[in-house]
Amino acid sequence: MSNAADKYLRRILATETNTNYSEPKLYIPQKKVNGRTVANVNADWYVYYYFRDNNGKMTGPFKVRKQINRLKSVEEKRSYGTRLAKGLSTLLYHGYSPLDKQEFNFDARTNPKQPVGINKDDSLTLEKALNDAIVQKSLTLKPTTIKGYTMRVNKLLEWLRKNKLKNIAPNEFNFEHALSYIDYESDQGNKATSVDNTRRELSAIFRVLKKRRLIDHNHFSEIETSKSAPEVHQVYTKKQLVALKKYLVKHDLNLYYFFKFIMFTYLRNKEVAKLKVKNFDLDRAVVAIETKTENITYKPLTKDLISLLENVYDIRNKPREHYIFTKEAGKTGYWDISDEGKTAYFSNRFKTIREQQKDFNLTKDHTIYSSRHTITSDIFMNFINEGLNEREAIIKLMGITGHSSENALKKYLRSIGAILPKKSSNYTTIDF
């Protein structure tokens, strides 16, 4: 969070703190399993808080369940309950009372009626409006996502200051300004993908300003998406994988385990780097992955990975907040660096091996992520060799890779060379 946004949030908390309620908290029922205390997924979960009545006495607890007890797993209930508590906290902050029988109008409290058109607040600068938007976004998004938004906004604010646009009103920021900034990002040597991510995230922030009627148009949404050549990940041969495994098992067990998770969970490098003990349910043989909006998606675990997690990482006896991957192979723990830093740590280790071990015949396009393409190609060919036709193999493979459509998976298989064009010589009679 930027300094300005941080000061703004502290000012709100210091001057407008409501002492009429306690902060909503998620109640997680517990039970004993093999001598350990664990969350009881089958018991009653709820968010609770206390509220001060007209006589000044704290009453309650007030329990709010909504649909939390319809969810089936601990991770789903924990994620939903956290968001429910955050939402209740926002309602209470803006004046909601469980003792008031009248319907609470949240929009009227947070967005008082304004004449149709732009909100004409001469004292509001674009800088302040952007920082306010960050604070508003932080109520509904994960801290890691907010960190990305804050970084993009701070870079834009720095550009505004350099171009003497620091104190302009929100609606004075025009299309030429937005386009000039995106051009500036491109001129800094950033890849097209990075530039488009900047455009997309700034568009999300400016959408908040438009919703508050501080601007007429979201100019970042009007800028065309940049095109870039897709990043290449060269598929490994089986000979290369055998040599690589032999080397890693002997010289870099930590990187070997990292490879295994990429290959057998179909997760990306960054997703694997940020995995914690709490993400795994060994009894159900699944790993839970949080999306940007804190929704949960699940990936199955192979028997090999379950054995690794139980017998090497011993995650049944480790704190839930421990990261699976640290600098020490097979040891969970706290690793206080960014997710990008963790990913770079393993990528750089592999880059060193790739450059030093010349007899592996690896190119710069052989990456850790390439292993995911390699195993996908291998599974597909094994399905074909078992007698499945191409479509049957694709449908069966969809359940493993997580692709949402046959066409998407078919296109992916072609891009990694698993599906090749038919040889024309098999069909022509022309001898040239």
Residue 431, in any domain of the structure: no
Residue 115 has pLDDT above 60, yes or no: no
Last residue of a domain, one of 368, 384, 412: 368
Q: CB-based contacts of 202: which residues, under 8 Å, 6+ apart?
A: 152, 153, 156, 178, 220
Residue 61's alpha-carbon distances to 24, 30, 51, 78, in angstroms, are 10, 19, 8, 20
Residues 338-361 pLDDT 10s: 788 888 899 999 999 999 998 899
Determine the Cα–Cα distance for residues 7 and 13; give it in Å rounded to an integer.
10
Residue 374, in any domain of the structure: no
Residue 128 has pLDDT above 60, yes or no: yes
pLDDT band, residue 9 (cuts 50/70/90): low
Residue 67, in any domain of the structure: yes
CATH code, domain carrying 131? 1.10.150
Neighbours of 261 (CB within 10 A): 22
- Contact between 415 and 235 under an 8 Å Cβ cutoff? The reply is no
- Are 350 and 249 found together in one domain? yes
Model pLDDT, residue 11: 47
Residue 21, in any domain of the structure: yes
Residue 8's alpha-carbon distances to 12, 13, 135, in angstroms, are 6, 9, 8
Residue 392, in any domain of the structure: no
- Are 361 and 251 found together in one domain? yes
- Are 275 and 336 found together in one domain? yes
- Are 177 and 247 found together in one domain? no
Q: Which of 4-13, 82-91, 294-303 has the weakest average pLDDT?
A: 4-13
- Are 105 and 131 found together in one domain? no
- Quick one: average pLDDT of 62-89? 87
Last residue of a domain, one of 313, 338, 368: 368
Residues 200-239 pLDDT 10s: 999 999 999 998 889 989 999 988 776 655 556 788 988 9
Count structural domains, the chain. 3
Q: Which of 152-166, 227-241, 242-256, 267-281 has the weakest average pLDDT?
A: 227-241
Model pLDDT, residue 12: 46
Token output for 61: 């607890």
Residue 399 has pLDDT above 50, yes or no: yes
Residue 403, in any domain of the structure: no
pLDDT band, residue 67 (cuts 50/70/90): confident
Q: Which of 12-16, 81-85, 328-332, 417-421 has the weakest average pLDDT?
A: 12-16
- Are 218 and 243 found together in one domain? no
Residue 103 has pLDDT above 60, yes or no: no
- Are 193 and 76 found together in one domain? no
- Contact between 256 and 245 under an 8 Å Cβ cutoff? The reply is yes
- Quick one: average pLDDT of 412-426? 68
Last residue of a domain, one of 351, 368, 385: 368
- Which amino acid, 149? Y
Nearest to 416 by CA among 237, 199, 293: 237
Residue 384, in any domain of the structure: no
Token output for 8: 């703004």
Domain of residue 334 covers 238-368
Residue 150, in any domain of the structure: yes
Model pLDDT, residue 101: 66
Residue 322 has pLDDT above 80, yes or no: yes
- Are 83 and 166 found together in one domain? no
Please state whether the predicted TM-score (pTM) of the whole model is above 0.85. no
- Are 105 and 160 found together in one domain? no
- Contact between 368 and 233 under an 8 Å Cβ cutoff? The reply is no
- Are 91 and 186 found together in one domain? no
- Quick one: average pLDDT of 80-88? 85
pLDDT band, residue 193 (cuts 50/70/90): confident
Q: What is the mean pLDDT of the chain?
A: 83
